[in-house]
């Protein structure tokens, strides 16, 4: 489930590991099917041992931990993965631990709290669908970065129109295509289209420039606000931040998982659910008519 807001929250939650050096990398004891880790953990340790972490970044829905030797650890949480520093939900689904130590002299700048000179970066994954890859800088660019569309936090109406406009795909399905725009998943695609007043079934090549402008604006509004609320923790409780706290944007959802409820904006329609590309889509049939935003809509 983690989408851009959740992954961005994970990245911000582990920023404190910047400047630390790797002491050890190990797979934890787990009786479940192992996750995909490439190369093998022993080789990862050989490459990263004593290497300093330069910074933590994000690439679409992936966490990047960048090292001084020009390698990057690429962690893709996928459905149920979490990148954490402490208090994992349980040890049963803990998949990987990276022991870190503050570099010499760095300790003086750290509060004298137990364990602050040492940290542990953990990857927890209930369903085991997440992946971890260690890539050199050139491979990161050729194997991953070049295959993704622009980040959803940077995409503009013009970029949307150029990248999506000639396609016959339904707009909701197209928003999930990471080669077109990186970071948007099922929850936020539905929320973006609702705020923009665009029918999720509309074909991309039928969307007007005015609608693209609304979609671009809604993308920024929804994603930035969701980041401020540290993402959405759904009813299954799986998503947690880096210290095992819940996100709270789920309380702000306008349409997602609200089937049958009255629309909070037009107050005329009831939220409907349909399946697109094997994923649930939620929308208001009044606010999001195919011919554009309904004239009776109140200003957001």
The catalytic residues are: 2-3, 61, 279
How many Cα atoms within 13 Å fall on the side-chain side of residue 9?
Answer: 29
Q: Is 247 left (phi over 0), alpha (psi -120 to 50) or beta?
A: beta
Instruction: Residue 237: name the closest of 226, 224, 250 by CA.
Output: 250
Is residue 34 exposed (0-12), middle (13-18) or buried (19+ Cβ within 10 Å)?
Answer: exposed
Q: Are 53 and 31 in contact (CB under 8 A)?
A: no
Tokens of 160: 């949307």
Q: Are 83 and 76 in contact (CB under 8 A)?
A: no
């Amino acid at each position: 489930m983690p989408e851009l807001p959740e992954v961005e929250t994970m990245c911000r939650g582990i920023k404190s590991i910047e400047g630390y050096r790797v002491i050890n990398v190990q797979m934890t004891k787990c009786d479940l099917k192992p996750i995909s880790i490439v190369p093998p953990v022993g080789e990862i340790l050989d490459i990263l041992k004593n290497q300093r972490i330069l910074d933590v970044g994000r690439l679409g829905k992936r966490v990047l931990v960048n090292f001084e030797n020009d390698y990057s650890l690429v962690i893709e949480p996928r459905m149920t993965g979490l990148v954490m520093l402490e208090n994992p939900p349980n040890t049963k689904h803990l998949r990987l631990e990276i022991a870190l130590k503050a570099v010499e002299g760095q300790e003086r700048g750290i509060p004298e709290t137990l364990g602050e000179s040492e940290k542990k970066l953990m990857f927890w994954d209930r369903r085991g669908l997440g992946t971890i890859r260690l890539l050199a800088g050139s491979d990161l660019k050729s194997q991953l970065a070049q295959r993704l569309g622009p980040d959803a936090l940077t995409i503009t109406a013009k970029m949307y129109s150029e990248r999506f406009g000639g396609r016959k795909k339904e707009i909701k399905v197209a928003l999930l295509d990471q080669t077109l725009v990186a970071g948007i998943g099922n929850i936020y695609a539905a929320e973006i289209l609702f705020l923009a007043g665009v029918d999720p079934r509309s074909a991309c090549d039928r969307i007007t420039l005015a609608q693209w402008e609304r979609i671009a604006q809604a993308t920024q509004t929804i994603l930035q606000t969701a980041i401020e609320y540290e993402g959405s923790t759904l009813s299954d409780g799986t998503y947690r931040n880096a210290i095992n706290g819940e996100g709270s944007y789920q309380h702000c959802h306008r349409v997602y998982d609200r089937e049958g409820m009255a629309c909070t904006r037009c107050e005329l329609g009831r939220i409907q659910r349909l399946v697109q590309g094997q994923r649930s889509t939620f929308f208001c049939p009044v606010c999001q008519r195919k011919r554009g935003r309904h004239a009776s809509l109140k200003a957001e």
